[in-house]
């Protein structure tokens, strides 16, 4: 059987982790806020020729002390199942003040999985990218990524480390109409999946119509056949095509 790529969204509570899981899964499989479902929820699917295992996990809040919670036990259970291929740090675009617990939460993740595994398979997803943050998005991204870098620097020292590939930011322009926006967001997620081994960020509002996928699903399913047949060396070409087709802006993380 082919390799199963394992994806773990992490980040503050209510940042949209479960909604992102549903978006990647293309179905309302994971419980979003107030659904009463218990995390971790783990589901597998096939997408773009990959077998994916998506794990909906616990976010951090101000009131839990992570070294006293059962968080570590849950992380170890995940680790027992296998290594992870993609960590998605999901954060609201306007969440510029990091909770004091961020460091403890990330520390436990880094203690469970190796820092190399974590940093080289890390993507940052900015959610809630709406009108209210539009004008300050650039500044907010800088503040958020800077705080994250500082924490990672304190925990493992990422500066001047030749083994670390710095993430890139893939930006989606929110001036598009709704259908175009969903298509573009989908394409960006596709790039993320194709790029699974690399490091980058996406900023965008997860489209509200994520459940229906009218038209978009059909298009992606057709492409899925193509992706499934494509060999590894075609991946770079496919990524370039998607970036060009959807005019996705890329800038380097700093
Ligand atoms: N407008 C908007 N709403 C979102 C976005 N992402 C999530 N939401 C909504 O915000 C609420 C919380 O989303 P969830 O996906 O449950 O967040 P979570 O990170 O899984 O939350 P916890 O599991 O409690 O940590 C839900 O009502 C979502 O529909 C987004 O990008 N934009
Ligand atoms: Mg959730």
| Domain chopping of the chain, boundaries | 4-252
Share of the chain above pLDDT 70, in %: 60
pLDDT tier, 58 (very low <50, low <70, confident <90, very high otherwise):
confident
The mean predicted confidence, pLDDT, of the chain is 71
Q: How far is the CA of 162 from the centre of ligand 1 (A)?
A: 35
Q: pTM of the predicted model, to two decimals?
A: 0.78
Mean pLDDT in residue range 54-70:
78
What is the distance in A from the centroid of ligand 1 to the CA of 131? 17
204 C-beta closer than 6 A to ligand 1: no
> Given a cut of 50, is residue 24 above it in pLDDT?
yes
Ligand nearest to the CA of 34: 1
Residue nearest to atom 26 of ligand 1 (CA): 33
Work out the percent of the chain whose per-residue pLDDT is above 90: 4
pLDDT tens-digit series, residues 155-213: 877 665 555 555 555 556 556 666 776 777 777 777 777 666 554 555 555 544 433 33
Cα dist from 27 to 18, 45, 217, 249, whole Å: 11, 10, 11, 27
Q: Is the CB of 92 under 6 A from ligand 1?
A: no
Tell me the pLDDT tens digit for each residue of 81-103: 777 878 888 888 889 888 888 99
Task: Please tell me the predicted confidence (pLDDT) of residue 208.
Answer: 46
Q: How far is the CA of 118 from the centre of ligand 1 (A)?
A: 23
> Domain 4-252 falls in which CATH fold?
Rossmann fold (3.40.50)
Decide: 207 in ligand 1 pocket, CB within 6 A: no
Could you write out the DSSP letters of every residue in 67-103?
GGSTHHHHHHHHHHH---SEEEEEEETT--S--TTHH
Q: Which two tokens stand for residue 162?
A: 């030749």
Residue 134 has pLDDT above 70, yes or no: yes
| Ligand 1 near 22 CB (within 6 A) | no
d(CA 232, CA 205): 30
Query: In this structure, are residues 59 and 17 in contact, taking their beta carbons and an 8 Å threshold?
Result: yes
**pLDDT band per the 50, 70, 90 thresholds, residue 226:** very low
**Can you give the pLDDT at residue 49?**
66
Whether the CB of 18 sits within 6 Å of ligand 1: yes
DSSP state of 233: G
**Is there an atom of ligand 1 within 6 Å of 128 CB?**
yes
| Mean pLDDT confidence for 47-51 | 70
pLDDT attached to residue 247: 66
What is the 155 CA–ligand 2 centroid distance (Å)? 26
Q: Is the CB of 28 under 6 A from ligand 1?
A: no
Whether 32 lines ligand 1, by a CB cut-off of 6 Å, is yes
Q: Which residue has the higher pLDDT, 156 or 45?
A: 45
The closest of 15, 220, 26 to 125, measured between CA atoms, is 15
């Amino acid at each position: 059987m082919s390799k199963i790529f394992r994806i773990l969204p992490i980040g503050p509570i209510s940042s949209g982790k479960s909604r992102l899981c549903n978006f990647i899964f293309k179905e309302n499989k994971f419980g979003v806020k107030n659904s009463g479902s218990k995390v971790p929820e783990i589901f597998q699917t096939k997408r773009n020729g990959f077998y994916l295992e998506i794990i909906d996990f616990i976010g951090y809040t101000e009131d839990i002390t992570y070294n006293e919670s059962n968080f570590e036990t849950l992380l170890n259970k995940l680790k027992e199942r296998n290594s992870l291929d993609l960590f998605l740090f999901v954060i609201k675009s306007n969440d510029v003040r990091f909770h004091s617990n961020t460091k403890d939460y990330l520390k436990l993740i880094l203690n469970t999985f190796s820092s190399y595994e974590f940093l080289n398979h890390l993507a940052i997803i900015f959610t809630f990218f709406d009108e209210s943050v539009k004008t300050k998005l650039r500044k907010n991204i800088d503040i958020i990524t800077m705080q994250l870098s500082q924490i990672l620097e304190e925990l493992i020292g990422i500066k001047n480390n030749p083994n670390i590939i710095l993430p890139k930011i893939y930006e989606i322009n929110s001036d598009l109409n709704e259908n175009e926006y969903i298509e573009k967001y989908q394409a960006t997620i596709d790039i993320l999946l194709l790029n699974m081994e690399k490091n980058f960020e996406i900023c965008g509002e997860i489209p509200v119509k994520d459940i229906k996928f009218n038209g978009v699903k059909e298009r992606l399913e057709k492409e899925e056949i193509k992706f499934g047949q494509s060999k590894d060396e075609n991946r770079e070409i496919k990524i370039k095509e998607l970036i060009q087709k959807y005019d996705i802006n890329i800038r380097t993380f700093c």
